[in-house]
Amino acid sequence: MRIVVIGGSGLIGAKLVGRLRQGGHEVMAASPKSGVDTITGEGLAKAVAGAQVVVDVANSPSFDDKKVLEFFETSGRNLLAAERAAGVGHHVALSVVGTDRLPENGYFRAKVAQETLIKASDIPYTILRSTQFFEFIGGIIEAGAEGDVIRLSPALIQPIASDDVAATLADLAVAPPLNGTVEVAGPEPIALDKLAGVVMAAKRDGRRAIADIHARYFGSVLDDQSLTPGGNPRIGPTRFEDWLASSSAKSLAPGARA
């Protein structure tokens, strides 16, 4: 099967490309680095020509509300048009659990816009909504920083290893289109402030993590349903404690966001 991975050089994309190639598929890792730009359209038609499946895991280079919306709308329109012209039979996209529950979050609004374009297209599709990646917890912690204090919501989240997200995407990419949305999450829900405490202790970070029900998550006030999956999600096998024990502090990228 010929599969094109848009965003194939990123955190999820590189892992996904490797998994699909190990499965014997012909895979193109498409990104601006390889001459494929979904914003300008450069190289896009050539990249998707002959592909049975396109998996979109590209991310915006900016998290500014206006720019991230422009990225996902422009990229989505260009990519879907190229797929339609090429006769692609399955569009798979990575989104985020909770996108439709937190309208104050500009990134989530942009992902909703992307999902809307996919659903309105006549291309068979599968959307995978994932919870926050373990690798992004560092960025979430820094977003709550106020001097030597980290103020975070005590709401539950259910983070997941990026390896497990890539594995789920690989399964979905080679399966028939669902024409629907599925969710994937890690095996354990945990309060965000408590998770931050675990990470900070592991990094020997001397700041204090404080539970604050009014603390905002990139613009939104959370409750226990905001960032946790609904009924019957797919569950990744990797526990955060095990991942943290085998990962370096560098894996918790302070600039990452989901």
The mean pLDDT of 58-78, rounded to a whole number, is 96
Assign 206 to helix, strand or coil: coil
The mean pLDDT of 174-190, rounded to a whole number, is 98
Overall number of domains in the chain: 1
CATH number at residue 196: 3.40.50.720
Range of weakest confidence among 15-19, 22-26, 188-192, 217-221:
217-221
Give a yes or no: residue 59 inside a domain: yes
Token couple for 36:
């494929």
Give a yes or no: residue 101 inside a domain: yes
Grade residue 255 by pLDDT with cuts at 50, 70 and 90. Answer: very low
Give the C-alpha distances (Å, rounded to integers) separating 245 from 75, 160, 193, 201, 257.
37, 15, 19, 12, 22
Give a yes or no: residue 170 inside a domain: yes
> pLDDT by residue (tens digit) across 13-31?
999 999 999 999 999 999 9
Phi (first) and psi of residue 170, to 5 degrees: -60, -40
- What is the C-alpha to C-alpha distance for residues 29 and 234, in angstroms, rounded to an integer? 25
What's the pTM value of the predicted model, to 2 decimals?
0.93
Dihedral sign, CA of 114, 119, 123, 129? positive
- What is the C-alpha to C-alpha distance for residues 214 and 229, in angstroms, rounded to an integer? 22
> Are 161 and 243 spatial neighbours (Cβ–Cβ below 8 Å)?
yes
Domain hosting 18: range is: 2-251
Query: Which amino acid would we find at residue 55?
Result: V
Grade residue 248 by pLDDT with cuts at 50, 70 and 90. Answer: low
Give a yes or no: residue 257 inside a domain: no
Give a yes or no: residue 28 inside a domain: yes
List all residues 6 or more positions away from 82 whose beta carbon is below 8 Å from its beta carbon. 41, 44, 45, 47, 48
Grade residue 258 by pLDDT with cuts at 50, 70 and 90. Answer: very low
Give a yes or no: residue 256 inside a domain: no
- What is the C-alpha to C-alpha distance for residues 170 and 151, in angstroms, rounded to an integer? 36
Give a yes or no: residue 258 inside a domain: no
The mean pLDDT of 154-169, rounded to a whole number, is 97
Grade residue 156 by pLDDT with cuts at 50, 70 and 90. Answer: very high
| pLDDT, position 256 | 44
List all residues 6 or more positions away from 244 whose beta carbon is below 8 Å from its beta carbon. 134, 198, 199, 202
Helix (H) / strand (E) element for 216: namely strand 216-217
| pLDDT, position 249 | 45
Query: In 3D, which of 93, 165, 111 has the Cα closest to residue 136?
Result: 165
> pLDDT by residue (tens digit) across 123-151?
999 999 999 999 999 999 999 999 999 99
Give a yes or no: residue 158 inside a domain: yes
Q: What is the 3-state secondary structure (H, E, C) of 11-77?
A: HHHHHHHHHHHHCCCEEEEECHHHCCCCCCCCCHHHHHCCCCEEEECCCCCCCCHHHHHHHHHHHHH
Grade residue 246 by pLDDT with cuts at 50, 70 and 90. Answer: confident
